[in-house]
Structure 1
């Protein structure tokens, strides 16, 4: 994992990398995973760092703890120059499922925001999350078949808007599986649905998006229940305009 870190450091001084390319962002997520594995986040020390929407010293945050990562998957948003990475730690004394959005200005990492869930958080079960998430196929969608950014974001927003407006039309796909904490709606059947009910009268606000058209996905950080609501991540994959997978993380502390 040394090479990505070296590439990242070079990115701050190499004019050729001024354009935010997919490969450049892949180096960013590789460096983030290396930092989390080693517990040495020096490459991110100049960024503003938050955990569960609270400012935290990067030297004392979860990112500074060496963790054995059992599963990870990332989104790379070249339009906003941002990334999202899902991390599952299901072995050892402490289990975590972490979602991290990283944002850049030019080639400089300026913001690192993590939603860190562990025992006691909503439906938390890292072993279950690992089992189901590692079996899903978030394959790269052929370019001619990709949905636009607008379609991908609209699909995620429709699902989120449903919590506060039952009349919203959601582009449900079949099959579709929802992973909420460690709870999973998928049974491996063609009829699997994500339309299995959500709470009503709940505002999901302050949304921050990372969109990756290559995998038809958007991750949304939001406040669940209003401006002072719980830190939450909802990640969606769409295929041909229809929801295929939904992953959620909610901090309950």
Structure 2
């Protein structure tokens, strides 16, 4: 009986809602408007318009669209988006390698399920010079080489499988007994550092610290490309981990961790992140 209930619960979580009212075309338009707003430095270009009670966070601090990084004119050199038709949400990765200051920017946007007429939440994580392993040249180079293309429908993983793979990766930081579905090959882009060499045995299972909790997770999941972005607190630091999952296994991991300014103010968390720098660099 318990097993049956667990299977039913999993099915309820994984099954798309029939009345979300969000199509991939609608969500692609939202993602495109984020890029247009960032390029122009004009948050008013974000469509649909924000609801009156829209919640906005930037590097895990309360903000507003008008004062956010979207108000700075930054032309992305690389863009990739995930479209979550179950939650009516999008995630857009933008790499800005030109201009006076480089940035890597991740934006999650949530519409109300069943009502695609307004934006109800916007969460942004962005990194720049001084943040964890930040090197925009490496970030752009490696991200541009990866393939996050559409997965044939018969080969797609469920939402539950995709999220479980991401959660296992996040959980192993605090629980080394966690079984992570490592793919082979798998490549991790961390700041501008890359674990992949284009070899069949490339691994993401390197430089994983111990005793660190990854909490307050917020997900955007796109089964069509096998992607899930998780915005969270890495210990106390603002963080985004973006995953590509193929046949239940991790294929790509992109990470951003904010370590500069008030947004990355936790000294203890900084110490734990910096404490694994040599271990990660030795493995890259």
Q: Tell me, yes or no, whether TM beats 0.5.
A: yes
2:144 paired residue number? 134
2:21 to 14, 19, 22: 19
Q: For 1:19 and 1:210, locate their aligned partners in 2 and report how far apart those are by CA, in whole Å.
A: 17
Root-mean-square deviation over aligned CA pairs: 1.3
Query: Aligned to 2:221, what secondary structure does the other structure show?
Result: strand
Instruction: Please state how far the C-alpha of 1:18 moved relative to its aligned partner.
Output: 7.3
The C-alpha deviation readout for 1:181-205, integer Å capped at 9, x for no partner, is 0000000000101111311011111
**1:145 paired residue number:** 155
Q: Is the 8 A contact 2:20 2:85 kept in 1?
A: no
Residue-by-residue CA offset, 1:60-94 (whole Å, 9 max, x unaligned): 22101111110010000000111101000001111
2:93 to 77, 80, 86: 86
1:111 aligned partner: 121
Give per-residue Cα distances to partners, 1:199-228, cap 9 Å, x unaligned.
Answer: 101111111000000011111011111xxx
Rounded to whole Å, the distance in 2 between the matches of 1:141 and 1:236 is: 14
Q: CA deviation at 1:57?
A: 3.0
> Which whole-Å CA distance do the structure 1 matches of 2:30 and 2:157 have between them?
24
Q: Distance in 2 between matches of 1:60 and 1:103?
A: 19
3-state SS of paired residue (2:216): strand
What does residue 40 of structure 1 align with? 42
Q: Are 2:189 and 1:179 equivalent residues in the alignment?
A: yes
After the TM superposition, which residues 1-253 of structure 1 pair with which residues of structure 2 at under 5 Å, given as runs? 19-42=21-44, 43=46, 44=49, 46=51, 47-105=54-112, 106-107=115-116, 108-225=118-235, 229-253=236-260
Q: 1:100–1:21: structure 2 CA closer, same or farther, 3 Å change rule?
A: same
Question: Alignment length, in residue pairs?
Answer: 234
Counterparts of 1:50 and 1:111, CA distance in 2: 8
> Per the alignment, in what secondary structure is the counterpart of residue 173 of structure 1?
strand
Distance 1:190 1:96 in 2: 31
Structure 2 CA distance for aligned equivalents of residues 33 and 89 of structure 1: 11
CA displacement 1:131-190 (0-9 Å, x = unmatched): 000110111000000000000000000000000000000001111000000000000000
- Structure 2 distance, partners of 1:58, 1:27, is 18
TM-score by length of 1: 0.90
State the alpha-carbon separation in 2 of the partners of residues 33 and 39 from structure 1.
10
Query: How many Å apart are 1:98 and its aligned residue?
Result: 0.6
Contact 2:50 2:119 in 1 (8 A): no
Counterpart Cα distance in 1 of 2:20 and 2:170:
34
